[in-house]
Chain A
């Protein structure tokens, strides 16, 4: 379709050129018939890679992704999908061990389909990631396809354009001007345009006035920012160790290993404050005072950093963030009471510290009794008639104790199962162990985070913002003026806000004694 690329003015244009690079005349038959060339002006009528005839696969992929239409469709699909995913809580937020059951129980048939369609964890799904990746590719190709020809065109602008080019602009004007009046008009126009901060170039009987070209680079800079942002996100998944997302609970006074890191951390103090007076009950502060340790070569823990994790102010050490997110009161220990079965008389109490039960731990009760912990099941259950523990979390603690009087060689075995009366298991026993109370301890919930791509992500966001500001707070405006054969021609183009340009030029005209009639006053 694009065959003849040599313009009447004699300039040889690359294949695919719409407006002559030199004089601006339309080259295509279909464009010649149009009244204005506003559409064609968008990329200065330059040939773009995506518009050449498609030979191979790469060309086709290129022209697919270079289409703004495709980009818009990709954005719309992402937008709608993201919206649907927000209607019910995602699996990670719901924090359920059985999502299938959770969604159908909580939300009925809608929940069931939400889960079945894979929407319950959609933001991490392959197809959503693919959508984002496609938007990324589209950003790169769309930008490259346009910015290079645009840059060349704007850099090599000719001042003198054909009158045809001027008259086919969306804003155009012509008026007969006597030869001797020409200079005066040109001077007046130049002064008025300069006053409005236009840069003026004049060659013979032609003027090119331009301002705000910076605006044209805005979209590309903002796209570069977005590409950097998306790359930052991608790197987190690609480079091992760049991203860590863990959580830990740590009791006051406890020292625990920070999951997936070489560090240990001690909870020195966990402070929970509430407002008082009429706002009693509203939380005021959560703060965990922490010491971070690292193991040295001999295996000793050496403190490397002290500080606090407060809501909104995480504990930081190098790349590691410990974020205050939860407060709990946890079971620290169980107080048990040893009783003589016959006399129903208490022989004394002992405390089982659940976080600190050594094998064959011995508790002394009263003056002559010893209780030895033989077995401990934090999360007790029976499997095929045998006692097991389902996990290491304290859910349903159970114990087998041996109770021995001093000097006795072998004592009697006794079960303690939380929530159950285990006495019936050992009816022959002399002693029985009963619950006497709990010891609770404040426990802080921390998130453990490493995210090495953060600087890249925020730099990307910042660049994007600069691009947006350039693109939207500046306007690229150009005015071509030419005097030829007793006629003054004027054509003007902008990439947006035509009304403002018209109003501005009308003022320019007024000051130069030309009624451009661009706006009705």
Chain B
């Protein structure tokens, strides 16, 4: 059963990957082919692959429910994988409204990244602690994730719009910020890649330290450049001759995984920059320039509208899931519908941010560049809430 579940997830991953490739084929393809026809052909293949992927992910989810007895949204792995699922789902809806192949060429890789990122976290099935034993666990989390999935599509479309507008510009603020945004995405990807490489090589390290009055042993999947404050190495495979962490994280960093998170971030930044350097060296092009040919011929008004439309579709769903359902559950679990817990605060911030986006767009006429930047900014807030709040700022929601 567990083997079946693993295989289903692996199939999902490869289907999403193939779908991404097919979408890119739809834009690039061979010369001489009629572009309209090619787009239609590859678009159909690609969206078909994405739909089969969704079916496989549903099968994976059902298998996991059978094994664990509860809906899989209870830890970082399960939640991130589910977020990937909602991104693909929202994309399929948007694809059938606008039929834009270029969107798939950006959203499907985002889904692949999310699923890979999910796999970085421990995949073991844990029983539900009492705080999570509620139907609201899946009602609240799934609906909130669906809203975020739509926002993710809005982010991808915004990114495509920005590349379409400034991808061929050598200088200027917008071009520079866009390049930085893409480098951050690259860092995220390279963190995932290094985790996989390190895992494949079987790298292991364990360091123990006193954290918040408890003796905690942290397991490192990546060579610990940063170790916990006043930690002791239990065991550590040698890394470039290094037998213990080079640095210790400062004592004010809270949480049992502070050192691990700092270490992961560090690896993401360093390997991301190295990867970026290599790309620049071999292609002699900026990332925006590399992507520009994929998006240049698309109607910017259409891209702008897709970005807005995804957010407009996502906003009521997000309100329902991340605020209203959240309040009902919070009332049942903690006796108050709102308590300014960090996760609650950041859900509110996300909601306020997108409401500002909608007011600026609908009432003050912010379209195009400004609107796309806001769509990108909104998704940064969502990822901040998903990653930083879960792992760094501990609150009532820190189950992972």
Residues of A within 8 A of B (CB): 39, 42, 68-69, 71-72, 75-76, 78-79, 82-83, 85-87, 89-90, 93, 106-108, 110, 123, 245, 275, 279, 282-286, 310-314, 321, 323, 325, 447, 449, 451, 454, 457-458, 461-462, 464-465, 468-469, 472-473, 495-500, 519-520
Contact = CB atoms under 8 A, between A and B. Distances in A.
A285 B395 CA distance: 21
Interface string B87-130: 00000000001000000000000000000000000000011011
B359 A449 contact: no
A107 B252 CA distance: 6
Contacts of B278: none
Nearest to B345: A86
B301 interface: yes
Contact of A495 (B313, B331, B345, B362): B362
A449 B336 contact: yes
Given A79-B349, A461-B327, A311 B133 contact: yes
14 contacts: A75-B355, A82-B345, A82-B349, A82-B352, A86-B345, A86-B389, A93-B395, A279-B126, A283-B130, A312-B133, A325-B334, A454-B337, A458-B328, A472-B316
A392 to B, nearest CB: 25
Contacts of B341: 93
Nearest to A457: B337
Interface string B356-371: 1001101111000000
B328 A473 contact: no
B127 to A, nearest CB: 5
Given A85-B345, A497-B308, A321 B335 contact: yes
Contact of A68 (B323, B327, B363): B363
Interface in B313-338: 313, 315-316, 319-320, 323-324, 327-328, 331-337
A75 B352 contact: yes
Given A82-B348, A123-B340, A468-B315, A286 B362 contact: no
A105 B360 CA distance: 43
B305 A499 contact: yes
Counting contact residues on chain B (CB < 8 A from A), the size range is 35 or more
Contacts of A465: 316, 319-320, 324
Contact of A39 (B136, B252, B335, B365): B365
Given A72-B359, A284-B127, 18 more contacts: A71-B359, A72-B364, A76-B352, A82-B345, A86-B340, A106-B252, A110-B252, A245-B336, A275-B127, A282-B129, A310-B130, A312-B332, A465-B316, A497-B305, A497-B308, A498-B305, A500-B305, A500-B309
Contact of A312 (B134, B308, B327, B353): B134
Contact of A472 (B133, B312, B359): B312
B130 A284 contact: yes
B69 to A, nearest CB: 12
A310 B135 CA distance: 14
* A-B CB proximity, top 3 nearest: A323-B335, A311-B130, A468-B316
A310 B129 CA distance: 12
Contacts of B359: 68, 71-72, 75
Nearest to A312: B134
